[in-house]
């Protein structure tokens, strides 16, 4: 046997723990010592792969001990000499070395390493593809090196000035001033906001999409420039699709090499700093401009920069800017990974009885806070997923593309559920010495069964709310029967007197044919009210009697009819005078023809007079007190509208609206028979069938928030949904009911609501005085308990109301 053979045989008999580890630390790595909570960490920069890794002191020491000659036992012994209190096993060291090799921090001179590197790269690429397919709402594409672009931009004086302390202070004051303007005019801002479908409809959706892309590009350049400002580097910038909207991402991981944590925090906040400046400028532009393209672009910018900053960037529950800022501030590196691991360990122990292997590199104190953070982040991911899916569903529904939103939601949900199942399976299938705890498994399953039983069996009452407003009980609404102009009483008196004078003239000069034709048969004012009956338009609070003339309407046909009456009356007079001159020569046949002709003229005159009376004279249906109609708001006018006549605003009977034109069916006023009030509820479509006649209603008026009245429905609930509501209840006037503009630009309710009347009774002495404080038009809130359902039933109802598939 040769010497080489004996040496190989001797090596084969050496234990694996005593064999030299054929790995050594790379010499080109850049190292920076960063302190977190007083504990030193080594941040390693891979200058080739441009990746960054954070190691604890013990982990970094193991990396330093790898020189290609030490064995596992030697590495452990040397490590314990420097850290005698560290409890570490050979398995822990071997696992760490494997992880270092996967990250490319060590190299080996042995052949065959290339194939291993290729396999690891393929595995990482496949894993990345899987993660991408499980999160279609957040796609990150490969990018490019923007370092030269950032250097050129930073060389410009205006760009550098953005990060000067004085400029930063002025910009923040500018942002605060915009918030003050927004807060001081919150109701006006709320009123001027467009409806959901108009804001997210075509073509503003395209503008919104482009605005989001531009804002996020500026956001990411803010990160890159701030990193360059503090001496860092940025070697990757690429395209990201956030809810299918184009954005940029900028890798500023080089900030990990900075020792000052406030520099890292500022770099994390730089993008939001730029966005809030854009948001403040957008607030002023939107507030100071009239409706148009610039106004809508400003609103888009405000929406994008504000909503995305609050929901995504500033929120520490998602791994965006807010997460890294909180991690830097708390000085807890890898906060998310540590929290998720501690949550898995807690689930393994408390639910399955599996004790995880102690990890010396995990935090020993405050573990409950890490678990709570992981649970909150997990719940928030579901909230964001459902919210985005509902948003896409609502936006795409008008185009019959809502199924796309549903498909995306279920694909993302499937990814999360699959990840949960996979993690649970890895926990269960992991090799261990001790078996799972049957009692803990039994308790866990019992808790799951109890939750399922509660969800599907226990009846849970649910209270819903509906807005209300006060109106007189038994009120009668007076509407216009036709589209026409309200004739002012003075003008009507002039018209009446003109026709009266004409009628008197005809009666004085008409030649009579005995009993067949005589002057009194011509009446130009038959059925028309006298000027004494129509002296003024009723105002709010006036007492009116049944049959009283409230208004007289006239349209163009009435004007033509009035002229035609004059012509027919003149023809009647002329024909009778002609007959008088030739009555001796008239034959019996001619006399009959003349009488027939005059009778026809008489019937035409009567028909025209009756037409003027029918539907044109508005009378009070009951006796009571007049209540003004809902006010019509003044419409905003731009430069194009300046050359057009403005539509009237207010109520039809306002003095400034004398002679205004009203539409057929438009409310002119209401009449309250007495002083009793009732509450009119506007119930959503989903609650219509749950509201019964005997349902107990709790009502609360806004100006009496400390008093709750209990009543019941005192009338039938409307069977047809209404798209019109009092303006005080709409979002245009800071009310709860959302509105949207129709094709004619009029504001209507976004969804149908049903009216239900509730009587207000003051049967207790301490509530009787409240009746004198209530006036028609006041608003409030009604609360009622709907039908009992299980928790699963409520969830299923919500899904059915929200999602409707079309085949």
Spatial contact of 407 and 319, defined as CB atoms under 8 Å apart:
no
Q: What is the pLDDT of residues 224-263, one digit of tens each?
A: 999 989 988 888 888 877 766 777 788 888 888 888 889 9
The full DSSP string for 331-389 is T-TTHHHHHHHHHHHHHIIIII-PPPPP-TTS-SS-HHHHHHHHHHHHHHHHHHHHHHH
CA-closest candidate to residue 486, choices 621, 617, 635, 650: 617
> What's the sign of the alpha-carbon dihedral 103, 108, 114, 116?
negative
The full DSSP string for 112-132 is THHHHHHHHHHHHHHHHHHHH
Asked whether the domain spanning 674-787 has the same topology as the one spanning 15-123, the reply is no
Q: Which long-range contacts (CB under 8 A, 24 or more apart) does 95-101 make?
A: 96/59, 96/62, 97/21, 97/23, 97/62, 97/66, 100/23, 100/62, 100/63, 100/66, 101/23
Look at residue 670 and give its three-state secondary structure.
strand
How far is 731 from 198, CA to CA, in rounded Å? 14
Complete edge-to-edge strand list for the sheet that includes strand 484-486? 617-619, 549-554, 484-486, 661-662
How far is 728 from 777, CA to CA, in rounded Å? 8
User: Structure tokens of 268?
Assistant: 């994390």
Is residue 472 predicted with pLDDT exceeding 90? no
Most confident residue range from 269-278, 313-322, 721-730: 269-278
Q: What is the pLDDT of residues 573-597, one digit of tens each?
A: 777 766 665 555 555 445 666 667 7
Domain boundaries along the sequence of the chain: 15-123, 135-331, 335-436, 481-641, 674-787
Is residue 382 predicted with pLDDT exceeding 50? yes
Tell me the average pLDDT across 359-378. 84
For residue 10, name the pLDDT band (cuts at 50, 70, 90): very low
Q: DSSP character for 28? A: T
pLDDT at res. 806: 43
CA-closest candidate to residue 271, choices 317, 233, 238, 308: 308
Tell me the average pLDDT across 327-341. 87
Put residue 353 in one of left, alpha, beta given phi > 0 → left and psi -120 to 50 → alpha.
left
Tell me the average pLDDT across 429-438. 78
pLDDT at res. 765: 46
Higher pLDDT, 320 or 738: 320
How far is 324 from 264, CA to CA, in rounded Å? 9
Mean pLDDT of the chain: 79
The full DSSP string for 491-516 is HHHHHHHHHHHHHHHHHHHPPPBTTT
User: Structure tokens of 5?
Assistant: 């053979």
Higher pLDDT, 624 or 123: 624
Spatial contact of 761 and 455, defined as CB atoms under 8 Å apart:
no
Q: What is the pLDDT of residues 748-800, one digit of tens each?
A: 777 788 888 887 765 444 544 455 567 777 888 888 887 677 888 888 877 66
Tell me the average pLDDT across 728-744. 71
Low-confidence winner among 176-190, 514-528, 712-726 (lowest mean pLDDT): 514-528
> What's the sign of the alpha-carbon dihedral 389, 392, 397, 403?
negative
Tell me the average pLDDT across 631-659. 71
Is residue 87 predicted with pLDDT exceeding 50? yes
Higher pLDDT, 502 or 313: 313
**CB burial of residue 287 (10 Å; 0-12, 13-18, 19+):** middle
Q: What is the pLDDT of residues 507-548, one digit of tens each?
A: 766 655 555 555 556 666 777 788 888 888 888 888 999 989
Low-confidence winner among 89-93, 95-99, 712-716 (lowest mean pLDDT): 712-716
Higher pLDDT, 80 or 517: 80
List, in order, residues 6 or more apart from 344 with CB less than 8 Å away. 356, 423, 427
Q: DSSP character for 312? A: I
pLDDT at res. 266: 93
Tell me the average pLDDT across 413-421. 80
pLDDT at res. 763: 47
Top CATH class, 15-123: alpha beta
The full DSSP string for 560-596 is HHHHHHHHHHHHHHHHHHHHHHTTTT--HHHHHHHHH
Q: What is the dihedral of CA 659, 661, 664, 666, to 10 degrees?
A: -80
How far is 297 from 293, CA to CA, in rounded Å? 6
Q: DSSP character for 309? A: I
pLDDT at res. 170: 94
For residue 334, name the pLDDT band (cuts at 50, 70, 90): confident
- Stated as kind and residue range, the H or E segment containing 606 is helix 588-613
Higher pLDDT, 106 or 803: 106
Spatial contact of 572 and 598, defined as CB atoms under 8 Å apart:
yes
Is residue 12 predicted with pLDDT exceeding 60? no
Look at residue 658 and give its three-state secondary structure.
coil
Tell me the average pLDDT across 479-505. 83
Spatial contact of 711 and 767, defined as CB atoms under 8 Å apart:
no
Is residue 1 predicted with pLDDT exceeding 60? no
| 674-787 CATH | 2.40.30
Query: Can you give 144-208 as a three-state secondary structure string?
Result: ECCHHHHHHHHCCHHHHHCCCHHHHHHHHHHHHHHHHHHHHCHHHHHHHCCCHHHHCCCCHHHHH
Spatial contact of 673 and 623, defined as CB atoms under 8 Å apart:
yes
Paired residues of 258 in beta bridges: none
List, in order, residues 6 or more apart from 50 with CB less than 8 Å away. 235, 236, 251
pLDDT at res. 281: 92
How far is 533 from 660, CA to CA, in rounded Å? 21
Is residue 307 predicted with pLDDT exceeding 70? yes
Low-confidence winner among 137-146, 192-201, 209-218, 440-449 (lowest mean pLDDT): 192-201
Spatial contact of 147 and 233, defined as CB atoms under 8 Å apart:
yes
Is residue 314 predicted with pLDDT exceeding 70? yes
Spatial contact of 782 and 679, defined as CB atoms under 8 Å apart:
yes
Global pTM value? 0.63
How far is 318 from 308, CA to CA, in rounded Å? 12
Query: Phi and psi of 316, rounded to 5°?
Result: -75, -5
CA-closest candidate to residue 794, choices 384, 496, 455: 455
**CB burial of residue 683 (10 Å; 0-12, 13-18, 19+):** buried
pLDDT at res. 9: 46
Spatial contact of 751 and 684, defined as CB atoms under 8 Å apart:
yes
pLDDT at res. 262: 92
Is residue 747 predicted with pLDDT exceeding 80? no
């Amino acid at each position: 046997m040769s010497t080489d053979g004996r040496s190989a045989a001797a090596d084969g008999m050496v234990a694996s723990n005593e064999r030299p580890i054929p790995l050594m630390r790379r010499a080109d790595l850049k190292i920076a010592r960063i302190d977190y909570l007083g504990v030193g960490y080594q941040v390693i920069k891979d200058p080739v792969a441009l990746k960054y890794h954070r190691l604890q002191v013990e982990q970094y020491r193991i990396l330093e001990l790898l020189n290609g000659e030490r064995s596992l036992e030697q590495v452990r012994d040397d490590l314990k000499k420097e850290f005698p209190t560290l409890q570490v096993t050979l398995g822990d060291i071997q696992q760490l070395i494997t992880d270092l090799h996967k990250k490319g921090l060590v190299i080996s001179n042995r052949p065959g390493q290339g194939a291993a590197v290729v396999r690891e790269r393929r595995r990482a690429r496949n894993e990345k593809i899987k993660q991408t397919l499980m999160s279609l709402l957040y796609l990150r594409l490969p990018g490019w090196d923007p370092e030269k672009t950032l250097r050129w931009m930073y060389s410009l004086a205006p760009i550098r000035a953005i990060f000067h302390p004085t400029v930063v202070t002025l910009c923040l004051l500018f942002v605060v001033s915009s918030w003050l303007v927004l807060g001081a005019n919150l109701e006006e801002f709320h009123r001027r906001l467009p409806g959901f479908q108009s804001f997210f409809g075509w073509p503003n959706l395209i503008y919104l999409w482009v605005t989001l892309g531009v804002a996020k590009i500026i956001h990411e350049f803010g990160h890159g420039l701030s990193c360059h400002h503090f001496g860092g580097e940025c070697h990757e910038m690429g395209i990201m699709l956030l809810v299918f909207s184009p954005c940029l991402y900028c890798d500023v991981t080089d900030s990990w090499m900075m020792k000052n944590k406030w520099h890292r925090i500022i770099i994390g906040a730089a993008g939001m700093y730029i966005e809030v400046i854009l948001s403040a400028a957008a607030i002023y532009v939107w507030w100071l401009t009239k409706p148009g393209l610039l106004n809508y672009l400003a609103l888009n910018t405000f929406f994008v920069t504000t909503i995305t900053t609050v929901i995504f960037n500033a929120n520490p529950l998602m791994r965006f800017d807010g997460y890294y800022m909180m991690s830097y501030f708390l000085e807890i590196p890898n906060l998310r990974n540590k929290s998720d691991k501690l949550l898995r360990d807690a689930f393994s122990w408390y639910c399955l009885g599996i004790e995880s292997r102690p990890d010396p590199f995990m935090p020993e104190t405050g573990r409950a806070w890490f678990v709570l953070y992981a649970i909150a982040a997990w719940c928030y991911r579901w909230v964001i997923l459902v919210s985005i899916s509902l948003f896409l569903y609502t936006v795409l529904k008008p185009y019959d593309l809502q199924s796309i939103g549903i498909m995306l939601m279920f694909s993302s949900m499937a990814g999360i559920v699959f990840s949960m199942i996979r993690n649970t399976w890895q926990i269960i299938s992991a090799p261990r010495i001790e078996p799972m705890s049957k009692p803990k498994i039994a308790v866990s399953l019992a808790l799951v069964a109890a939750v399922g039983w509660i969800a599907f069996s226990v009846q849970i009452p649910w209270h819903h709310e509906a807005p209300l407003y006060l109106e007189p009980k038994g009120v009668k609404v007076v509407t216009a029967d036709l589209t026409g102009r309200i004739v002012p009483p003075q003008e009507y008196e002039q018209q009446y007197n003109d026709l009266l004078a004409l009628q008197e003239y005809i009666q004085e000069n008409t030649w009579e044919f005995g009993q067949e034709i005589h002057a009194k048969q011509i009446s130009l004012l038959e059925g028309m009210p006298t000027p004494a009956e129509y002296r003024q338009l009723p105002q709010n609070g006036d007492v009116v009697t049944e049959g009283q003339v409230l208004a007289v309407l006239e349209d163009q046909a009435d004007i033509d009819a009035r002229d035609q009456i004059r012509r027919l009356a003149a023809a009647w007079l002329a024909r009778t005078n002609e007959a008088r001159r030739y009555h001796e020569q008239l034959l019996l046949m001619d006399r009959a023809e003349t009488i027939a002709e005059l009778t026809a003229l008489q019937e035409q005159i009567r028909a025209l007079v009756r037409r003027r009376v029918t539907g044109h004279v508005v009378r009070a249906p009951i006796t009571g007190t007049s209540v003004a109609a809902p006010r019509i708001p003044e419409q905003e006018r731009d430069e194009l509208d300046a050359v057009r006549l403005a539509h009237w605003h207010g109520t039809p009977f306002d003095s400034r609206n004398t002679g205004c034109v009203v539409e057929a069916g438009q409310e002119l006023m209401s009449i309250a028979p007495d002083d009793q009030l009732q509450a009119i509820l506007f119930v959503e479509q989903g609650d219509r069938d749950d509201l019964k006649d005997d349902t107990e209603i709790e009502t609360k008026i806004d100006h009496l928030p400390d008093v709750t009245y209990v009543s019941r429905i005192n009338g039938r609930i409307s069977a047809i949904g209404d798209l019109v509501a009092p303006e005080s209840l709409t979002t245009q006037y800071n009310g709860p009911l959302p509105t949207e503009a129709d094709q004619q630009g009029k504001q209507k309710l976004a969804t149908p609501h049903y009216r239900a009347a509730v009587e207000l009774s003051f049967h207790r002495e301490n509530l009787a005085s409240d009746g004198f404080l209530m006036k028609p038009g006041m608003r409030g809130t009604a609360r009622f308990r709907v039908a009992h359902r299980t928790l699963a039933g409520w969830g299923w109802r919500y899904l059915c109301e929200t999602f409707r598939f079309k085949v």
